[in-house]
Structure 1
């Protein structure tokens, strides 16, 4: 029996639990994912989970649900009942996601980074009655259970060791795609950037559409922008994941990429700050290299690169650009870097792309990952090429001009529904979430490249727009990126909506003062309109890391609430 397929199977209309079982039956020893043996000590190395082991654990969890939550009748196994889980970064997210479907339920994996009020509202909205608790619950869990007493039942979730302890009988799962395509597979939620997170359902039909999205036929002379993470015999799609597993990109990394692309996710320990995340990624890469050397008996050049890609949030890119010695350690062990969830300053991106292939990804919970493509002869190091993207034509995006910013036309990305005939009947996942719509704004703004009409640079979100009391408008994303490119500045947020002028919330690197970085802020001011320029008396120096969504973007509404008193004081004194 071969250790793996020659090419990865493209079975768009096969339910994910059935796809897992099929691959496990054919290639039982094929690696599914790897996690630290000890989440507190990466030096102890990695535990590898095979497809056969994960498939068995999925069956074990389905049986566990029957025994501990309640066995559903066949007519009730439609995903209408929701189980909630917030736990550490381990293989259980994949097992619970797929096992709940087998047992007729669906999972909700809320971000534990939100407070108990936001989490409670989310759980109430989806009418969840059961919360599965890990060995060490998240801080908000006790408050949620207390407030939902008599409504939400808490159960101790099975541990990784329990799920993988012994072989169990196969749980009967006979559903077909046609009979359940409109049933939910999992419940996710919006990022909560501008308010409370809202639930979003991915149906089996959404998954099928996403499978098509990831495997759209390529136009001539193009390749996939994410080719490094795709399964190939000579390039195994090894992806070091530095982010959490509980949001849309987390489900892609742990469930969709392994099953639909053959990606092999490898998880580092999570970091609370960019510095910690990068340091832990480096430690993970060194642990993998140590294992490789021990297995081969020789630290040859072949063993230098231990992963094909490292996935990080934009703030980590900014941090690495300011710390070249850490960037060099990443470059030594990986073929590429990818980021998503926000933009990166030109200065930082140029620094990174000069040393390693840098990939810019974009997506949303409703649409999933955008299938961007690259020309096979593209030089990603050439004049900022790394920050531009070319969406696959099947995505049917229209870029509509909306306004000018610093002399450049900005375009709003609007997705138009495909007719269901072209591209082998492909309809974008977005319209599985919004079946009655013919088109929908993606909420993203772009600038067109002057070199090629099919190259687009992300310029922020429409809801980033600041509208001052004068009704003058300003998009702060580029200014914020330029400010954070200073080595002494960690994070920056420009505010001013319904205010007379702009203010800046900034967090500085240790040892820096506002005077040390003021020159950079003044440099950015020169290119900003008068009403958006930040004066020195309108700056708040934050002492704590900014509040972030799971994908690493700033929770602007929460930041405004957190610093409301300080901002009110600035504006009252500054008028």
Structure 2
């Protein structure tokens, strides 16, 4: 099992350090220490890996900082925004660090600092434009390989200027760059805007979320606050980690910028495209990976193959993110590897939780006292589902000054609030109080195990047009495909006519699927009929209570997945 290191690190003053300053410090004091490890040959991972050192990283950042000064146009804004979209390579973290460094004297000693906006290239044009408008961003940097995506967006926004991105080899080169010194202290820079991520946009347009230097340093804060409690951060300390999540994503950028600099994680890279199970097995083997952040769909795929299962069991840690992990995969792994749910959001960041050596209840978490997480019992109080909220520590508390300024990043984003509802629904362990498992959200979005999802109501409305359907529910949280649960009109349920009913349902299902991406469409094989003796749960208004009704059929839903998938 895992050999987990302790925190804080010896001789390190955690909690008030800037990632930019730590990078330069490590490049000076320990220049040959590895920052990332990448394949020698992306086409043949079996040839092994090579390290990029902190000396090389810092040199590349200095090259990039000088490049930004030369190529970005002047601005009168105190913080000039520029968007960047590129392939999955090291330009993302190099340009990000450089953006944080650059403050150019312009317009009679007005310091113009930079903030880097990170739109997902997969977003629709309207979502792109919304984020650029919200951040008053008039510059879009991209390499030629991204021209077809970015230029289409640029054409729709007047005044938006394209900046050709530098080649990676022009930044990550052996020639020493002239030092680009960053002189701001923690107190001066901690609340400066730096990187702009965005939410997934499941209930509308994606929302841009601006991360300050302090918010990107929350891993360092957690190292200071952990105390005797084991946290996820302990797993990253001085270990080799891999994730397929792109660096445009908050988790991917956090790992390669924050975990690496603050707790000495070595980030192991793979080829730029989404990894197949076979590629992932090679990455874990030849990259000598200790831990991995994976989406459940990848874990499930590997668990179905003997060599994939062996590769996962060779790890010390698996942190899964994006959706719940299937019970079968969890049971196969929990005895051999530390299996940890990674829960959070772009706004809140990673939830600050305490970890346990637990092979049975691996899918439950316990909140660290510094998280400020509370259970809202006024919502769903007659059911087992609860809403987790975050409360600002009160001024009357002796911990208030320490915690408010250090850990609860949601209140850096929303300083006018003292309460934040996550909209996540949780279930407490039936016998182990204080352990919680996330089971869904208050809205009707169904996240699937591969990271995509669908709005349940879109499908349900079409299905309920059928004369024999009284109500329809879409489920499948964390599964590869959605399941459709149908409650028939009273007196019309007949198991012997099930095949005939499914055939009559196909035109409605076809219309519903036409509104969904292929990866989230409902398959006729995953249609389940509710039993007359077990009707859907209704609210006082008479509407179907979604999650309680799906919970009624938990065993039947698991059974149909076992038979079909």
Task: Please confirm whether the aligned pair reaches a TM-score higher than 0.5, indicating the same fold.
Answer: yes
Matched positions, count: 474
1:145-294 correspondence runs (5 A): 145-148=154-157, 151-165=159-173, 166-209=175-218, 211-219=220-228, 222-231=229-238, 237-269=239-271, 272=274, 276-288=275-287
- Alignment-derived partner of residue 430 in structure 2: 450
- Alignment-derived partner of residue 403 in structure 2: 426
Q: Is the 8 A contact 1:372 1:389 kept in 2?
A: yes
**Any idea what SS the aligned residue of 1:88 has?**
coil
1:360 aligns with 2:328: no
- Alignment-derived partner of residue 556 in structure 2: none
CA distance in 2, matches of 1:229, 1:260: 10
- Alignment-derived partner of residue 386 in structure 1: 362
CA distance in 2, matches of 1:8, 1:464: 49
Query: Larger Cα Rg: Structure 1 or Structure 2?
Result: 2
Q: Kindly tell me: are residues 318 and 474 of structure 1, through their superposed partners in 2, closer, same or farther at Cα, counting changes over 3 Å?
A: farther
Query: 1:325 Cα shift?
Result: 3.7
Q: Deviations over 1:155-189 (max 9, x none)?
A: 22112211122111111321222223332021111
Q: Deviations over 1:135-159 (max 9, x none)?
A: 42164212112223x5122222112
- Alignment-derived partner of residue 81 in structure 1: 80
Q: Deviations over 1:392-427 (max 9, x none)?
A: 11111111235669x951110010112474187022
The one of 126, 136, 144 equivalent to 2:153 is 144
Q: CA RMSD in A?
A: 3.6
**Any idea what SS the aligned residue of 1:436 has?**
coil
TM-score relative to the length of structure 1:
0.74
Q: Deviations over 1:44-65 (max 9, x none)?
A: 5434211111111111111001
1:45-124 correspondence runs (5 A): 45-70=48-73, 78=78, 80-103=79-102, 104-124=113-133
CA distance in 2, matches of 1:381, 1:455: 14
Q: Kindly tell me: are residues 41 and 143 of structure 1, through their superposed partners in 2, closer, same or farther at Cα, counting changes over 3 Å?
A: farther
Q: Is the 8 A contact 2:9 2:263 kept in 1?
A: no
Query: 1:323 Cα shift?
Result: 3.4
The one of 532, 536, 554 equivalent to 1:529 is 536
**Any idea what SS the aligned residue of 2:303 has?**
helix
Q: Deviations over 1:22-51 (max 9, x none)?
A: 121111111111233454553454342111
CA distance in 1, matches of 2:370, 2:172: 41
**Any idea what SS the aligned residue of 1:147 has?**
coil
Q: Kindly tell me: are residues 476 and 86 of structure 1, through their superposed partners in 2, closer, same or farther at Cα, counting changes over 3 Å?
A: same
Q: Is the 8 A contact 1:394 1:423 kept in 2?
A: no
Query: 1:195 Cα shift?
Result: 2.3
CA distance in 1, matches of 2:187, 2:279: 44
- Alignment-derived partner of residue 300 in structure 1: none
- Alignment-derived partner of residue 331 in structure 1: 313
CA distance in 1, matches of 2:533, 2:179: 66
Q: Kindly tell me: are residues 514 and 242 of structure 1, through their superposed partners in 2, closer, same or farther at Cα, counting changes over 3 Å?
A: same
- Unpaired stretches in structure 1, ≥5 consecutive residues: 232-236, 289-305, 485-489, 536-575
Q: Is the 8 A contact 2:39 2:269 kept in 1?
A: yes
> Runs of 4 or more off by more than 4 Å in structure 1?
37-41, 402-405, 465-470, 472-477, 493-496, 501-509, 512-515, 521-528, 530-535
Q: Kindly tell me: are residues 402 and 312 of structure 1, through their superposed partners in 2, closer, same or farther at Cα, counting changes over 3 Å?
A: farther
Q: Deviations over 1:188-239 (max 9, x none)?
A: 11112222211111122333455313542334xx3224532222xxxxx110
**Any idea what SS the aligned residue of 1:90 has?**
coil
1:36 aligns with 2:39: yes
The one of 285, 290, 313 equivalent to 2:295 is 313
Query: 1:431 Cα shift?
Result: 0.6
The one of 376, 400, 423 equivalent to 1:400 is 376
